[in-house]
Structure 1
Amino acid sequence: MSRSEPIARRGSRRDTALPLAGLRGAWFDEVLGPDDADVRARLSAPRPDLCGLTLDRPRVMGILNVTPDSFSDGGDHAGFDAAVKRGIAMAGEADIIDIGGESTRPGAEEVAVDEEIRRTVPVIEALRGAGVTTPISIDTRKARVAEAALDAGANIVNDVSAFEFDPELADLTAEHDVPVCLMHAKGLPDTMQDNPSYEDVVGEVMDHLERRIGFAVDRGVKRDRIITDPGIGFGKTLEHNLELLRHLTLLHDFGLPVLLGVSRKRFIGTIGHAPEAKDRLGGSLAIALHGAAQGMHIIRVHDTRETTQALALMAALDGEV
């Protein structure tokens, strides 16, 4: 299928420029592929607000893993008190808090539903009880976990399986009428990095996301509630990740908000000679700024304070503050 890929630019705008995906700091005036008035309207239109947040600038989603085995910070916030403390701090640094109770790192095994609920729901309840009003996303593939989290005060569903693991999660999302992020992944976490292959990684990711968007809409999810995510690192080699990162603006062809999650991932360590995940801040910031330049609406990161600072400097250089 032929798709439209706007060429992202920043800084001083040409007279013919249009905002890229409704963002103030990014623009385009050239499109690869089909290009007409309808295409340009889709590529430039403002994206719907997200839980009261405008998406006219990149938003930072902070990762709060309440798991003992996440690839980057496993165990750091597995305890209740540590998780709540970090969540309160994150509320002052990020626009969204993404709470997950099941690691989806390569090789990770599935966590039982009741255990995932036990890990996540008390933290959500405690954050709301402490007065945190920041939107909270529940990072889960399971309907029962999402339901418990939404009842506890979460606002967004973040499903790395795009409703493939548990199709009933689509029905729940539609029933609650909450935003949902649909991510591309090839295979399950325990096997997804076992020699993943594609003939055309960019085209196949786009086709998969289009099918999952269609599935969600067919199950009653409103299209303007959907966020897309190319799934960097989920069933992809280093070369696959780089190819997707070079063509991020293709995702704007859906006319939907886009989330980019690359923080501390293995390919950053490989390229940047940082075998330990916590030593990958520099590379994570580089990719976060690249994503912002390509019109990503949500940047999902571990290092919320540093990423927020970097984005603020980028906006200032572009004259957006």
Structure 2
Amino acid sequence: MPSYTITCGSHTLALGQRTLIMGIVNVTPDSFSDGGRFFSPDRAIAQAVQLVEEGADILDIGGESTRPFSDPVGESEELDRVLPVIEGLAGPVAVPISIDTTKATVARQAVAAGAAMINDVSALRTDPEMATTAARCRVPIILMHMKGTPNTMQVKPVYEDLVSDIRSFLSDAMNRAVAAGVERSAIILDPGIGFGKTIGHNLQLIRDLDRFHELAAPLLAGPSRKMFIRHLLKDPSQSDMDPLSVEVARGTQAAVAAAAMKGVHIVRVHDVARTRATLAVVNAITSV
């Protein structure tokens, strides 16, 4: 695993010594993964604190669902969801906070409230001001591959060459960010497991994650509770599985382990406690 150092405000992340854990907090009423359990600020803050206690190295706070076929929310509504949570966490937690958003205004105000990283699942395509905002705020930015939008991404996604196409997309996104003033050393890349990919695409993507090291940037992977895991594990009579089921949790850990063995620097997950145990073993294996 290549080594990098990322500065997030007062925090410094050493990437490459072990796989770090980004804990997910969805402040949304319609998340596929938790059914809106943390929609209220108090519940979201309590969940975030628990994730840090369980071993999260980074917290990712999002106020807009990106589940398949979801619609976007307005800027003011997204701000109303995430700002109270970030403000409530900025002092008490000792890990960097990431704002999961595609909107530059939301990112800017979140950073002012205490966030120290931006996670843009659109890789700068939704808001042309996002790269400039990241540069001016002097925070790292995660650029993720997604084919289309959340509302359209799972409508028969097709690639000429899966890894080459995604790698080219991420390289272009990184170049646009640098051209806008973002330091190259402040960019993290996410190939976008589950975003505009079939089950076969996701399996191939995890198998070939090590090929993205050629882009010379830290890698993040987010397989947590995704549809391809649920599809592989469900009974033939089921249309889907409960994302909160024990079986899906086990399947997620298998995907986490596979991604970590391929050298990703950060895994983005809902279940930090299980992931910490999984990575303790994987990191021990890969460090021998």
The amino acid of 2:232's aligned partner reads I
Q: For residues 116-147 of structure 1, what are the alpha-carbon distances to aligned partners after superposition, in whole Å with 9 as ceiling and x for unaligned?
A: 00000100101124x21210000000001001
Q: CA deviation at 1:246?
A: 1.4
1:308 maps onto 2:276 in alignment: yes
Q: Which residue of 1 aligns with 2:229?
A: 268
Q: 1:89 aligns with which of 50, 72, 77?
A: 50
Q: Which residue of 1 aligns with 2:93?
A: 132
What is the alpha-carbon distance in structure 1 between the residues aligned to residue 281 and residue 191 of structure 2?
26
SS in structure 1 at match of 2:82? helix
Larger Rg: 1
Q: CA deviation at 1:202?
A: 1.1
What is the alpha-carbon distance in structure 1 between the residues aligned to residue 261 and residue 7 of structure 2?
20
Q: Which residue of 2 aligns with 1:292?
A: 260
What is the alpha-carbon distance in structure 2 between the residues aligned to residue 123 and residue 295 of structure 1?
32
TM-score by length of 2: 0.93
Q: Which residue of 2 aligns with 1:14?
A: none
SS in structure 1 at match of 2:4? coil
TM-score by length of 1: 0.84
Q: Which residue of 2 aligns with 1:13?
A: none
What is the alpha-carbon distance in structure 2 between the residues aligned to residue 318 and residue 185 of structure 1?
30
Q: Which residue of 2 aligns with 1:30?
A: none
Q: CA deviation at 1:239?
A: 0.9
SS in structure 1 at match of 2:244? helix
Change (3 A) 1:317 1:199: closer
Q: For residues 286-321 of structure 1, what are the alpha-carbon distances to aligned partners after superposition, in whole Å with 9 as ceiling and x for unaligned?
A: 01111111110000000011101111123334566x
The runs of 5 or more residues in structure 1 that have no matched partner are: 1-19, 22-45
Query: Does the Cα contact within 8 Å between 1:101 and 1:117 map onto a contact in 2?
Result: yes
What is the alpha-carbon distance in structure 2 between the residues aligned to residue 230 and residue 318 of structure 1?
22
What is the alpha-carbon distance in structure 2 between the residues aligned to residue 241 and residue 158 of structure 1?
20
Q: CA RMSD in A?
A: 1.2
The runs of 5 or more residues in structure 2 that have no matched partner are: 235-239
Summarize the alignment of residues 118-197 of structure 1 with structure 2, pairs less than 5 Å apart. 118-129=80-91, 131-197=92-158
Q: 1:63 aligns with which of 14, 24, 37?
A: 24
1:105 maps onto 2:67 in alignment: yes
Summarize the alignment of residues 200-239 of structure 1 with structure 2, pairs less than 5 Å apart. 200-239=161-200
What is the alpha-carbon distance in structure 2 between the residues aligned to residue 215 and residue 126 of structure 1?
33
Query: Does the Cα contact within 8 Å between 1:47 and 1:255 map onto a contact in 2?
Result: no
Q: CA deviation at 1:90?
A: 1.2
Q: CA deviation at 1:49?
A: 3.2
Q: Give the number of equivalent residue pairs.
A: 276
SS in structure 1 at match of 2:14? coil
Q: Which residue of 2 aligns with 1:117?
A: 79
Query: Does the Cα contact within 8 Å between 1:289 and 1:310 map onto a contact in 2?
Result: yes
Query: Does the Cα contact within 8 Å between 2:207 and 2:262 map onto a contact in 1?
Result: no
Change (3 A) 1:319 1:125: same
1:49 maps onto 2:3 in alignment: no
Q: Which residue of 2 aligns with 1:277?
A: 243
Change (3 A) 1:183 1:318: closer
Query: Does the Cα contact within 8 Å between 2:207 and 2:258 map onto a contact in 1?
Result: no
The amino acid of 1:110's aligned partner reads P
Query: Does the Cα contact within 8 Å between 2:90 and 2:97 map onto a contact in 1?
Result: no
What is the alpha-carbon distance in structure 2 between the residues aligned to residue 50 and residue 307 of structure 1?
24
Q: Percentage identity across aligned positions?
A: 47
1:72 maps onto 2:30 in alignment: no
